Structure 1
Amino acid sequence: MTLTIFLFIAIIIAGIQTTIPFLVNRSIIFGVTIPENYLRNETLLSYKKKYSLFVSVFSLILLTSYLLWALFQPVTQEQIVLIGTFLEFAIILFSFALYFYFHGKTMRLKKINHWTENLKNIKVADLSARAHDEMLPWQVYLLPMIITVGVMIYTTIQYDLLPQQIPTHWGVNGEPDAFTEKTMLSVLLLPLTLLIMQLMFLGLHVGTKKSGIKVNSESTEVSRQRQLTLRKYSSWFMFFISMLLTMLISYFQLQTIHPTIFSATAMFLVPLGFLVLILVSAIVFAVKVGLSDKKTAPQIQEKIVDSNEDSYWKGGLFYFNKNDPSIFVEKRFGIGWTINFANPLGYLIVFLPLIAIILFTFLAK
């Protein structure tokens, strides 16, 4: 079953990495802004196809080798987990190496062909877009927090029932495999970590909602639709992940307090179900957003080009723009959001909770 889980995860990762060039913003190719009139350039299309072909072939070789190794060699579960994790990272690293290769080739192609010469740079501000914004209200993110606070209160009340050794980590089979001595901090560490993560999700939602809706001046309506779709589904996706994490960690906490409340089968199936739901929701999110600007042909504005922000993107992945008040902006490679690294609020929202989790974990030992 462990082999099946890791193969399933690796296949999903390989599928997403293979299709990324066809799901990102239509006017961005390998992190480079391309004028609408050149999006169907044969060379650019060949770059996309080659990237997808190389990633898919590489992934197929790795997955096949991993499967044959696990089936025909005497291997332990720990070895399957270790090699499976390495395999997943190998696919991601290989895809990023290919991305940087084609990013450089796309930059050179754009420069050599002078695609932006004799075109007027225009930046569009769509003041009406927010009226159609369907992001969830921030208050819904309080629901999982209320559940977590309830679990923390219940844990405190049941403190005497807890064992002297508190689980701090669970393996792929749902069984605890790491423990620490019982203290008030150690018994509350799991829900406290969850609460910090929920606060981070709330911060990500608020920061995203306050960020600008970037509209392409060459294809205003199509790009506007993508931005609204991204905002809507990312808010639902983050809330869904927050609720799933709340249910999973609350389940583990209750299992610690009442070891016999759930069967051994449930201890295996619940984490597995959590993993499947996470991966399926990620696929749905990627497809919904990725195809939102591909369904309708844009009405291209002639003799103009969207304001070129390539200089603000380092390697097409990291956004630094002090003049942009947005905390988060749409990724140029991948589906979702990335930080405006020139805005310190992004660091606080993302890294402060992570530091707090590490600190509490250290103190609980």
Structure 2
Amino acid sequence: MALLIFFVIILSLVIVQTLIPFLVKKTVVFGVSIPEQNIEEPKLAQFKKQYAIATFTVSAISLVLYAAWALINQLSDEQIVIVGASIQFAIIIFSISLYFYFHGKTKQLKQAEKWTENLKQVTVTDLNIRNQDEMLPWYVYTLPMIVTIGLIIYTFMNYDLLPNEIPTHWGPNGEPDAFTEKTPFSAIQSSLFLLIMQMMFTGIHIATKNSGIKLSATNAIASKRRQLGMRKYSSWLLFIVLLVITIMMSFFQLTTIHPNLFEGSLLKLILPFGALAIILIGTIIFALKVGRLDKEESTVIEGNITDIDDDQYWKGGLWYFNKNDPSIFVEKRFGVGWTINFANPLGYLIIILPIVIILFATFFMN
């Protein structure tokens, strides 16, 4: 089961990493903003193709060798997990290295060809676009929190039924493989961490919903479709991921209180794998759907204007630092989704504070 899980994860990673250059908005190539008049430049298409071929080839070979190694040798789940995780990191590091190589090549090409030299940089605003935003309302994200709070109360009500050793981690087979001594805190630890994560997800959603909606000056219709579509689909994906994690963690908590509740049931095995499958499939569908939103139709472009060139605020094309932008989250330049405006302290509060709380509780409260 561990091999199957990691095979699916790595395969999904290979697909997404290979397709990323073709899924970002078309006026951004390897983290560099490109005037719409130049997006058909053959060298840009060549860069994307070279990245995709190299990433897919190296990743696919690694995946095949990993599967063959695991099938030929009699290995423990721990060995399979360690090597599988290492391969994931190796693929990510390799693809990021390729990204930085082609980021530099694209930046050099843009400067050498002087694509923005004779273009007027303008900003377009649609005052009615907020009324068309179909992101989920924030209070929808509180529903999983209510479930978790109820589960915490239920755990305390049945504290005497809990075993002396509380599970803290579950393996690929759905069975607990790490334990801690029973205390009031350890009894609700996993549910408490889940609640903190739910609060973090809600904060991310609210911050994303309040972020700026940036339209293209040269193709406002396509950029509007992409922005609204990405906001809508990302809010749904975030909620689905949160819901799936809540169901899975609530199931594990209930089996801790009532160990005989699902004794002999395949649900312990199916639920973790099913949750993983839903998240991976949802992520791939989201990326593919959003990736097509601004590429479905061509538009006649006015020859002497372009969008504001904000490359100066993107460090390496990946990290956004702009004190003048009140948005906490902005659209990624490499990848599909959102990234933090690192010049806005609220982003650190939403993302890092919950992680610090969880780490502190894990190491100092047990």
- TM-score, normalization by structure 2: 0.98
Q: What does residue range 1-365 of structure 1 map to in structure 2 within 5 Å?
A: 1-264=1-264, 265-365=266-366
Distance 1:181 1:15 in 2: 42
Deviations 1:139-188 (A, max 9, x none): 11111011001100100100000011101111111111111111111101
Distance 1:333 1:60 in 2: 21
Contact in 2 for aligned 1:125/1:214 (Cα 8 Å) = yes
Q: How far 1:79 sits from its partner (Å)?
A: 1.2
Amino acid at match of 2:105: K
Distance 2:207 2:279 in 1: 23
Q: How far 1:287 sits from its partner (Å)?
A: 1.1
| 1:299 alignment partner, SS class | coil
Distance 1:298 1:225 in 2: 13
Amino acid at match of 1:188: I
Q: How far 1:196 sits from its partner (Å)?
A: 0.5
Deviations 1:306-348 (A, max 9, x none): 0000000000000000000111000000010000000111111
* Structure 1 runs not aligned, ≥5 long: none
Amino acid at match of 1:266: L
Q: How far 1:37 sits from its partner (Å)?
A: 1.2
| 1:63 alignment partner, SS class | helix
Distance 2:72 2:361 in 1: 43
Amino acid at match of 1:165: E
Distance 1:24 1:343 in 2: 23
Amino acid at match of 2:363: F
Distance 2:152 2:223 in 1: 44
Amino acid at match of 2:87: L
Amino acid at match of 1:344: P
Contact in 2 for aligned 1:189/1:364 (Cα 8 Å) = no
| 2:339 alignment partner, SS class | strand
Deviations 1:98-144 (A, max 9, x none): 00000000000000000001110111122121111000111111110
Distance 2:138 2:300 in 1: 35
Distance 2:355 2:29 in 1: 32
Deviations 1:6-56 (A, max 9, x none): 111111000000000000011000000001111111101000000000001
CA RMSD of superposed structures (Å): 1.0
Q: How far 1:90 sits from its partner (Å)?
A: 1.1
Distance 1:301 1:155 in 2: 64
Distance 1:225 1:320 in 2: 26
Distance 1:190 1:202 in 2: 18
Cα 1:160–1:363, aligned 2, differ >3 Å: closer, same or farther?
farther
Q: Which runs of 4+ in 1 moved over 4 A?
A: none
* Structure 2 runs not aligned, ≥5 long: none
Distance 2:322 2:152 in 1: 41
Identity of aligned residues (%): 54
Amino acid at match of 1:341: F
Distance 1:68 1:142 in 2: 45
Distance 2:73 2:201 in 1: 43
- TM-score, normalization by structure 1: 0.98
Q: How far 1:299 sits from its partner (Å)?
A: 3.4
Deviations 1:245-278 (A, max 9, x none): 1101100000100011113422111111111111
Tell me the number of residue pairs that the alignment of Structure 1 and Structure 2 aligns: 365
Contact in 2 for aligned 1:219/1:301 (Cα 8 Å) = no
